[in-house]
Amino acid sequence: MAQVIAFGADHGGFALKISLVPWLQSQGYEVLDLGAHTLDPLDDYPDFAAAVAQAVAEGKAERGIVICGSGVGACVVANKIPGIRASVCHDLYSARQGVEHDELNVLSLGARVVGLELAQQLTTEFLVARFTGEERHVRRLAKVNAIEQQSRQWQ
Ligand code: RB5
């Protein structure tokens, strides 16, 4: 069965999104496209990044990709959703290692920073990588999860 990837972008990432989505589908992935569906210069990245992160957290998609102008705002939003580990990765090493060591489940891209070809390579590295499950990474993830649990008590 095809792996489901949730996808979202604001106006800053819209052009890259409409190129990346069909390419991703041609690679055999199922895309859950959570917008933007039209280019609206007044739309806001939190709306799309939150929708993608929520879909991943709820298990509707295995991983998510969010795009804004820099990748920063969308990444900040995605990390607000419990269970999400998102990062901007504009180099291939981090896109792969973020999954292998840190179990990254959302990749954030900046469309004003990377072009289509690099975005395709970053996406591939992110999607083919698997968490290694090595003891030291499991231990660190448990600490990350404990911090997330603790932070709920501050609210
Ligand atoms: C929108 O102009 C831009 O601020 C947004 O796409 C993103 O770069 C925020 O981090």
Cα gap 103→85, rounded to integer Å: 7
From the CA of 10, give the closest atom in ligand 1.
6
Q: Where are the domains of the chain?
A: 4-154
From the CA of 12, give the closest atom in ligand 1.
6
Active site (annotated) includes residue 75: no
> Which of the following is catalytic: 11, 75, 89, 101?
101
- What does the pLDDT look like over 90-149, one tens digit per residue? 999 999 999 999 999 999 999 999 999 999 999 999 999 999 999 999 999 999 999 999
Homologous superfamily (CATH) of 4-154 is: Sugar-phosphate isomerase, RpiB/LacA/LacB (3.40.1400.10)
Active site (annotated) includes residue 89: no
Task: Write the single-letter amino acid at 153.
Answer: Q
- What does the pLDDT look like over 15-66, one tens digit per residue? 999 999 999 999 999 999 999 999 999 999 999 999 999 999 999 999 999 9
Nearest CA to ligand 1 atom 4: 69
Nearest CA to ligand 1 atom 8: 69
* pTM attached to this predicted model: 0.97
CA torsion 144→146→152→154, rounded to 10°?
-100
Task: Let me know: does 6 contact 61? Beta carbons within 8 Å.
Answer: yes
